Protein backbone atom coordinates (compact mmCIF):
# COMPACT_ATOMS: atom_id res chain seq x y z
CA UNK A 1 0.00 0.00 0.00
CA UNK A 2 1.41 3.39 -0.99
CA UNK A 3 0.46 6.42 1.12
CA UNK A 4 0.71 9.91 -0.33
CA UNK A 5 2.37 12.38 2.06
CA UNK A 6 2.60 16.11 1.42
CA UNK A 7 5.33 18.16 3.13
CA UNK A 8 3.67 21.07 4.97
CA UNK A 9 6.58 22.49 7.01
CA UNK A 10 10.27 23.18 6.39
CA UNK A 11 11.23 20.92 9.34
CA UNK A 12 9.21 17.97 8.02
CA UNK A 13 10.82 14.59 8.48
CA UNK A 14 9.30 11.51 6.83
CA UNK A 15 7.64 9.15 9.34
CA UNK A 16 9.64 5.96 9.86
CA UNK A 17 9.30 2.44 11.20
CA UNK A 18 11.88 1.65 13.89
CA UNK A 19 12.11 -2.04 12.93
CA UNK A 20 10.66 -4.43 10.36
CA UNK A 21 8.30 -5.67 13.07
CA UNK A 22 6.99 -2.21 13.97
CA UNK A 23 3.23 -1.92 13.56
CA UNK A 24 3.23 1.86 13.39
CA UNK A 25 5.19 4.74 11.91
CA UNK A 26 7.04 7.13 14.22
CA UNK A 27 6.32 10.82 13.58
CA UNK A 28 8.72 13.69 14.16
CA UNK A 29 8.15 17.19 15.54
CA UNK A 30 8.30 19.87 12.83
CA UNK A 31 7.21 22.65 15.18
CA UNK A 32 5.24 23.11 18.40
CA UNK A 33 3.08 25.73 20.05
CA UNK A 34 0.95 26.19 23.14
CA UNK A 35 -2.76 26.97 22.93
CA UNK A 36 -5.44 26.98 25.64
CA UNK A 37 -3.26 25.00 28.07
CA UNK A 38 -2.34 22.33 25.53
CA UNK A 39 0.98 21.54 23.90
CA UNK A 40 0.51 21.09 20.13
CA UNK A 41 3.12 19.31 18.02
CA UNK A 42 2.94 20.06 14.30
CA UNK A 43 4.03 16.88 12.48
CA UNK A 44 4.79 18.83 9.29
CA UNK A 45 2.69 16.82 6.85
CA UNK A 46 -0.72 16.02 5.51
CA UNK A 47 -1.60 12.62 4.09
CA UNK A 48 -4.04 11.01 1.70
CA UNK A 49 -5.27 7.80 3.26
CA UNK A 50 -6.72 5.17 0.91
CA UNK A 51 -10.49 4.83 0.74
CA UNK A 52 -11.66 2.44 3.44
CA UNK A 53 -8.79 3.14 5.88
CA UNK A 54 -8.18 5.50 8.81
CA UNK A 55 -5.15 6.36 10.91
CA UNK A 56 -4.89 6.06 14.66
CA UNK A 57 -2.35 8.48 16.19
CA UNK A 58 -1.04 7.53 19.65
CA UNK A 59 1.67 8.56 22.07
CA UNK A 60 4.93 6.62 22.12
CA UNK A 61 5.24 4.36 25.14
CA UNK A 62 8.63 5.86 26.05
CA UNK A 63 7.19 9.29 26.95
CA UNK A 64 6.53 8.35 30.57
CA UNK A 65 10.10 7.00 30.87
CA UNK A 66 11.80 10.01 29.29
CA UNK A 67 9.68 12.90 30.56
CA UNK A 68 7.59 11.65 33.47
CA UNK A 69 4.44 12.68 31.59
CA UNK A 70 1.75 10.14 30.84
CA UNK A 71 0.13 10.96 27.51
CA UNK A 72 -2.85 8.76 26.80
CA UNK A 73 -3.63 10.77 23.71
CA UNK A 74 -5.34 9.10 20.80
CA UNK A 75 -6.34 10.83 17.60
CA UNK A 76 -8.38 9.46 14.72
CA UNK A 77 -7.57 10.66 11.20
CA UNK A 78 -10.50 9.91 8.88
CA UNK A 79 -9.96 8.71 5.33
CA UNK A 80 -11.14 12.04 3.87
CA UNK A 81 -9.09 14.36 6.14
CA UNK A 82 -6.41 16.29 4.23
CA UNK A 83 -5.22 18.83 6.81
CA UNK A 84 -1.91 19.05 8.65
CA UNK A 85 -1.42 16.35 11.26
CA UNK A 86 -0.83 17.38 14.89
CA UNK A 87 -0.22 15.54 18.14
CA UNK A 88 -1.70 17.24 21.22
CA UNK A 89 -0.84 16.82 24.89
CA UNK A 90 -3.42 18.29 27.26
CA UNK A 91 -3.22 18.38 31.06
CA UNK A 92 -6.04 16.58 32.83
CA UNK A 93 -6.11 18.67 36.00
CA UNK A 94 -4.97 21.98 37.48
CA UNK A 95 -1.72 20.46 38.80
CA UNK A 96 -0.62 19.19 35.40
CA UNK A 97 -1.82 22.44 33.77
CA UNK A 98 0.43 24.35 36.17
CA UNK A 99 3.30 21.97 35.34
CA UNK A 100 2.83 22.55 31.59
CA UNK A 101 2.73 26.30 32.29
CA UNK A 102 6.05 26.09 34.14
CA UNK A 103 7.58 24.09 31.30
CA UNK A 104 6.44 26.75 28.81
CA UNK A 105 8.24 29.45 30.77
CA UNK A 106 11.55 27.57 30.89
CA UNK A 107 14.07 26.45 28.31
CA UNK A 108 13.13 24.21 25.38
CA UNK A 109 15.01 21.26 26.85
CA UNK A 110 12.23 20.84 29.45
CA UNK A 111 9.56 20.35 26.80
CA UNK A 112 8.94 16.61 26.31
CA UNK A 113 9.75 16.73 22.59
CA UNK A 114 11.67 19.27 20.55
CA UNK A 115 11.93 19.84 16.79
CA UNK A 116 13.23 16.69 15.12
CA UNK A 117 12.28 14.35 17.99
CA UNK A 118 9.99 11.36 17.55
CA UNK A 119 6.82 12.32 19.42
CA UNK A 120 4.04 9.93 18.45
CA UNK A 121 3.17 7.08 16.15
CA UNK A 122 0.38 6.28 13.74
CA UNK A 123 -1.24 3.08 12.59
CA UNK A 124 -3.25 2.64 9.39
CA UNK A 125 -6.27 0.41 9.93
CA UNK A 126 -9.23 -0.73 7.82
CA UNK A 127 -12.64 0.80 8.39
CA UNK A 128 -15.07 -2.02 9.07
CA UNK A 129 -18.60 -1.88 7.66
CA UNK A 130 -20.55 -2.25 10.90
CA UNK A 131 -24.21 -1.66 11.68
CA UNK A 132 -25.70 -1.26 15.14
CA UNK A 133 -28.91 -2.92 16.25
CA UNK A 134 -30.69 -2.42 19.56
CA UNK A 135 -31.43 -5.48 21.72
CA UNK A 136 -33.06 -5.92 25.13
CA UNK A 137 -30.34 -8.28 26.42
CA UNK A 138 -26.74 -9.30 25.74
CA UNK A 139 -24.87 -12.59 26.01
CA UNK A 140 -23.59 -13.03 29.57
CA UNK A 141 -19.81 -13.24 30.25
CA UNK A 142 -17.58 -13.19 33.33
CA UNK A 143 -17.09 -9.42 32.69
CA UNK A 144 -20.67 -8.37 33.52
CA UNK A 145 -19.43 -6.37 36.55
CA UNK A 146 -18.35 -3.34 34.50
CA UNK A 147 -15.17 -1.26 34.85
CA UNK A 148 -12.67 -2.83 37.24
CA UNK A 149 -14.61 -6.09 37.42
CA UNK A 150 -11.52 -8.28 36.91
CA UNK A 151 -9.90 -7.07 40.14
CA UNK A 152 -6.41 -5.75 40.76
Residue 138 lies in a domain: no
The mean predicted confidence, pLDDT, of the chain is 83
| Average pLDDT over every residue of 2-26 | 96
Kindly state whether residue 115 falls inside one of the protein's structural domains.
yes
**pTM, 2 dp:** 0.77
pLDDT higher than threshold 90 for residue 79 = yes
CA angle 54, 61, 39 (to 5 degrees): 75
- Range in 6-15, 18-27, 100-109, 134-143 with the lowest mean pLDDT: 100-109
Nearest C-alpha neighbor of 15 from the set 80, 60, 52: 60
Mean pLDDT in residue range 4-21: 97
Position 146 in a domain: no
Q: Is residue 52 part of a domain?
A: yes
What would the pLDDT profile of 19-55 be if each residue is shown by its tens digit?
999 999 999 999 988 877 677 899 999 999 999 999 9
Residue 135 domain-assigned (yes or no) = no
**pLDDT of 109:** 46
The total number of structural domains that make up the chain: 1
Count other Cβ atoms within 10 Å, centred on residue 12: 17
Q: Which domain holds residue 109?
A: 4-126
Q: What is the pLDDT, as a whole number, of residue 82?
A: 97
CATH number reported for the structural domain that contains residue 116 in this entry: 2.70.40.10
Task: Look at residue 96 and tell me whether its pLDDT is greater than 60.
Answer: no
Q: Does 142 map to a domain?
A: no
Instruction: Please say if the pLDDT value at position 16 is more than 60.
Output: yes
Domain assignment of residue 62, yes or no:
yes
Tens of pLDDT, residues 109-141: 456 778 999 989 999 999 999 999 999 998 988
Position 22 in a domain: yes
10 Å Cβ neighbour count for 88? 14
Amino acid sequence: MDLKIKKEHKNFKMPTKATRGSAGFDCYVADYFFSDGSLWYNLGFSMELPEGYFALVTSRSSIVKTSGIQANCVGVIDTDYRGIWHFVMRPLNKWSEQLIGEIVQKEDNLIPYNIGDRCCQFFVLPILDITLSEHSSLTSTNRNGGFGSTGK
